Chains A and B, each alone.
Chain A
Amino acid sequence: METQPSTPKPKLFIVYFLLPALCIYTIFFFVPIIDSIRLSFYDANGLIVKEFVGWGNFKKLFTVYPFKERLINAFTNNIEFFLIVTFIQNFIGFLIAYLITRRMWGANTVRKISFLPTTLSVIVVGFLFSKLIFNPVFGVLDRILEAVGLEFLIHAWLGDPATALPVLAVVISWQFMGETILFYTAAIDNIPQEIVEAAKIDGANQLQMIRYIVVPYIMPVIMIVTIIIFIGDFTQFDIVYAMATSQGNPVYATDLFGSLFYRAAFTVPARGGWGIGMGAAVSTVMSLVVFIGLAGWMVFFKSKKKVDY
């Protein structure tokens, strides 16, 4: 007797339906993340875990030279990297998105093209920029600067510790700007026309429009974009590998958590390796930063959202 066909009672088949996804996801996603944290409390010889050392790895990581210096360096670099990328992607991304949502000729093509770099591999983009654009001998950038009479701007872009990290951040922004623009255009498209019209009748100019209508309306999307950038940047490795080797050249100026983790866990001591135990400790600190950051962003934007609405 089917009394309430629309809300059937749970049955055994639910278990079969959930189990495959649940198993794979738990075994190859959730458990490894927890287990990696556990491993950071062990001393290890290669992949063979030797003995429990408690907080030993972390003590070393936070107090002993050069572990402490590398960790702090990677952390501050990562924050700088994140700030630059967030700024460029949100600011320029919003600007372009705002422009191409006006009804004008070619806007659709620009939308399509803007996402093109995002489809490429970070490795490809990194090599492309380090070898063909920023290279001091045959890089195109310096020659273009020369051609337009801006020679004084010519610079050892990737060699100067002061500019190397920002250059990497710009390249990453170049690549993922498309994603930001995609989100922002969709969000702006979704703003109800009545609101826009009403504002126009009230005589709002472009800036006021952005400030009081567009930005508040797409705030949730800004939050999503920022979180995506945050997660991506604090586990970023590929761009450092491609543009500055896994050493984070020059002199660790472009070293991020990802590259520090890779070097620490998988290299020989003479080239900057610290062993798997210490590598796991770096990965745990990285996890901590990501988790705390995620929680922080959520809270920050939640409160902001409430104020604005």
Chain B
Amino acid sequence: MPLKKVVTRTIYYGVIIFYVITIVYPIFLMTVTSLKPTREIFQNPYGFPETLYLNNYVELMVKANFGTYFINSILIVLISLLIIVMFSAPAAFVFARYSSRLNRFFYIYFLAGLVIPIRLGTISLLKMFVSMGLNDHIISLILINIAVGIPLGVFILTDFIKMIPRDLFDAARMDGCSEPGVFMRIVFPLLRPAIAALAIVIFIPIWNDFWFPLILIKSDSMKTIPLATALLFGQYNTNFGLVFAALSMASVPIVIFYLIFSKFFTKGLLQGAIKG
């Protein structure tokens, strides 16, 4: 029995350690590569750098204008998130409180947005933004992100509001609160954890979106981090140190964000999908 246990334990940890190495090593490799001069990358591709070489990052900020792209990406994420919450919370309130046939229909209509990929509407979106004069502007990306985010927002928040005890609403109503008042004073403050979960789940796809920036954004001042990274790869393709600094820079904020919030994160993602 003990021998069997030792064997199974060894296999167990062997598998887990191998798995962890395959996950961590490529990310480690990317970071480490960004800290080497290009020449060293070709001579010594897989180990630690001989000396810490930060020039790639300096060059990235100075030569490749990465600061602007950062600001753009952050603006897009923040504005999209705020509007998604502002628009989907009231809608979720209605869905949670009133179940008329029409409301159920709208609810399903929103839910369709959870499974249908927006990329199928690319050509029409492009045409629309061109005629509105909004293409090549981050506003177009924000609008798309909002449209994609609203279904998830409505879904997660509706679920959450349904869990709020009815007594709370009743008490507020007794005190002479109107329905919108109930929403503003009772529901909205309670929504904080749900909003946090929503924000965390939506943050990643918005930050990482590549397709729509590639189609819509052309001028340098409007580029987002993933688009700039991809184009940089073509532009400085012989300067490996620089491009891997760019890749690392594109990943760092999101990895830090994830590590800080990973607890909420798990909750949010599960709520978003499992109950569907």
Residues of A within 8 A of B (CB): 2, 5-6, 8, 10-11, 13-14, 16-18, 20-22, 24-25, 27-33, 35-36, 39, 47, 95-96, 99-100, 102, 104, 106, 110, 112-124, 127-129, 131-133, 137-140, 143-144, 174, 179, 182-183, 186-187, 220-221, 224, 227-228, 231, 234-235, 237-238, 241-242, 258, 261, 265-266, 276, 279-280, 283, 286-287, 290-291, 294
- Chain B, residues 81-106, CB within 8 Å of chain A (1/0): the string is 00000111011011001101001001
CB contacts (< 8 Å) of A115 on chain B: these are: 258, 262, 265
CB contacts (< 8 Å) of A110 on chain B: these are: 16, 19-20
Q: Of A25, A131, A238, which contacts B150 at CB under 8 A?
A: A25
The yes or no answer to B270 lying at the interface (CB within 8 A) is yes
Known: A33-B120, A35-B121, A279-B123. A128 touches B29 (CB 8 A): yes
The minimal Cβ–Cβ distance linking A228 to chain B, given in whole angstroms, is 7
Interface of A is mostly: helix
Q: Are A276 and B169 in contact, CB atoms less than 8 angstroms apart?
A: no
CB contacts (< 8 Å) of A179 on chain B: these are: 269
Q: Are A100 and B16 in contact, CB atoms less than 8 angstroms apart?
A: yes
Residues of B within 8 A of A (CB): 12, 15-16, 19-20, 22-24, 26-27, 29-30, 33, 41-42, 45-46, 86-88, 90-91, 93-94, 97-98, 100, 103, 106, 109-110, 113, 115-128, 130, 143-144, 146-148, 150-151, 153-154, 166, 169-170, 173-174, 178-180, 183, 204, 207-208, 210-211, 214-215, 225-226, 229-230, 233, 240, 243-244, 247, 250-251, 254-255, 257-259, 262, 265-266, 269-270, 273-274, 276
- Nearest A residue to B256 by beta-carbon distance? A119
In the complex, A129→B269 CA distance in Å? 27
Q: Of B33, B148, B178, B244, which contacts A29 at CB under 8 A?
A: B148
Q: Can you report 5 A-B residue pairs in the complex whose CB atoms are below 8 A from each other?
A: A20-B86, A32-B118, A39-B123, A138-B42, A186-B274
Q: Are A235 and B120 in contact, CB atoms less than 8 angstroms apart?
A: yes
Q: Are B87 and A24 in contact, CB atoms less than 8 angstroms apart?
A: yes
In the complex, A140→B44 CA distance in Å? 10
Q: Of B119, B130, B154, which contacts A235 at CB under 8 A?
A: B119
Most chain A beta carbons < 10 A, residue from B94, B147, B174:
B147
Known: A21-B88, A140-B45. A119 touches B146 (CB 8 A): no
- Nearest A residue to B253 by beta-carbon distance? A119
In the complex, A283→B126 CA distance in Å? 13
Q: Are A119 and B254 in contact, CB atoms less than 8 angstroms apart?
A: yes
In the complex, A183→B45 CA distance in Å? 35
Given contact pairs A114-B19, A279-B123, a sample of 19 additional A-B residue pairs in the complex whose CB atoms are under 8 Å apart: A10-B100, A14-B103, A17-B94, A24-B87, A36-B124, A96-B19, A116-B258, A119-B257, A121-B207, A123-B250, A124-B226, A128-B29, A128-B247, A132-B26, A138-B41, A140-B29, A174-B26, A187-B274, A235-B117
Known: A8-B179, A238-B211. A117 touches B90 (CB 8 A): no
In the complex, A20→B265 CA distance in Å? 27
The minimal Cβ–Cβ distance linking B126 to chain A, given in whole angstroms, is 7
